[in-house]
């Protein structure tokens, strides 16, 4: 049974999400603020977190940063504010999706399902992809550059895995946003470009395996 942590200072919102999550077979734990969420995550593991942004004691963005220091748990952010800056900032700190209140609980659970499905290991013999000195261990969510492990953010992991699994295929920025972030993003391309830049820096001598297609997007060249 998948475990879901709901973090919101509004009891009614927690109750609605719990009702739909339990109906979909989730074990649900609740937290009233970011501080409580951090403490709960120190003692427990979850498959996904639904995190409100504006909360007392510790806001959702700050809570996600602290949790991600020790746990790689996907997060959907909830906020009454729909400004582009807030969405971009949420994605920059590693949020997997962002929903603006009021929201549809059914849509929320659909997005939860998409994110969990994306995180399932690839169905191959070993789950490892090797390109010269670049090794990508999908089940272990680990990347090695010339035998040395490199630390990537959760979104950088997913971006690299997706690019490598679709090697040789031209992928537009819109396609990357839709399939990795799971969010219909209508702003500019800074989110993708920033993550690609950081990912290339982490890949060092293998940075050129991710090529830029001018006016289109990116492609992974084996």
Domains of the chain (ranges, CATH numbers): 3-118 (3.40.50.2300), 128-220 (1.10.10.10)
- The Cα–Cα gap between 194 and 201 comes to 11
pLDDT at 142 > cutoff 90: no
pLDDT of the residue at 183: 53
- Secondary structure (3-state) at 1: coil
The pTM assigned to this predicted structure is 0.57
Burial 132-153 (b: 16+ CB within 10 A, else e): eebbbbbeeeebebeeeebebb
Query: pLDDT tens across 82-120, in order?
Result: 677 777 887 888 888 889 998 899 889 888 887 886 665
DSSP letter at 152? Answer: -
Query: pLDDT tens across 182-198, in order?
Result: 655 454 567 888 999 99
Query: pLDDT tens across 12-40, in order?
Result: 999 999 999 998 888 999 999 999 999 99
pLDDT of the residue at 13: 95
Phi, psi angle pair for 203, to nearest 5°: -80, -10
Mean pLDDT of 57-71: 92
Q: What is the mean pLDDT of the chain?
A: 86
CA distances from 39 to 5, 30, 33, 93, 137 (A): 12, 12, 10, 19, 30
DSSP letter at 209? Answer: G
pLDDT at 204 > cutoff 90: yes
pLDDT of the residue at 123: 44
């Amino acid at each position: 049974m998948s475990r879901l942590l709901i973090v919101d200072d509004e009891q009614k919102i927690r109750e609605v999400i719990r009702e739909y999550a339990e109906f979909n077979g989730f074990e649900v734990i609740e937290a009233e603020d970011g501080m409580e969420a951090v403490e709960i995550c120190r003692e427990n593991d979850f498959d996904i977190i639904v995190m409100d942004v504006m909360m007392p004691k510790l806001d959702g963005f700050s809570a996600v940063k602290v949790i991600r220091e020790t746990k790689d748990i996907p997060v959907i952010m909830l906020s009454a504010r729909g400004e582009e800056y807030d969405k971009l900032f949420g994605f920059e700190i590693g949020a997997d999706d962002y929903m603006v209140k009021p929201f549809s609980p059914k849509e929320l659970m659909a997005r939860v399902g998409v994110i969990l499905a994306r995180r399932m290991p690839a169905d191959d013999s070993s789950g490892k992809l090797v390109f010269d000195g670049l090794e990508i261990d999908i089940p272990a969510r680990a990347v090695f550059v010339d035998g040395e492990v490199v630390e990537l953010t959760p979104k950088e992991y997913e971006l690299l895995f997706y690019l490598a699994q679709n090697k040789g295929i031209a992928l537009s920025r819109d396609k990357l946003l839709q399939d990795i972030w799971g969010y219909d993003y209508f702003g500019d391309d800074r989110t993708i470009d920033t993550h690609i830049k950081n990912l290339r820096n982490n890949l060092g001598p293998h940075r050129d395996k991710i090529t830029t297609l001018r006016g289109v997007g990116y492609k992974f060249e084996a």
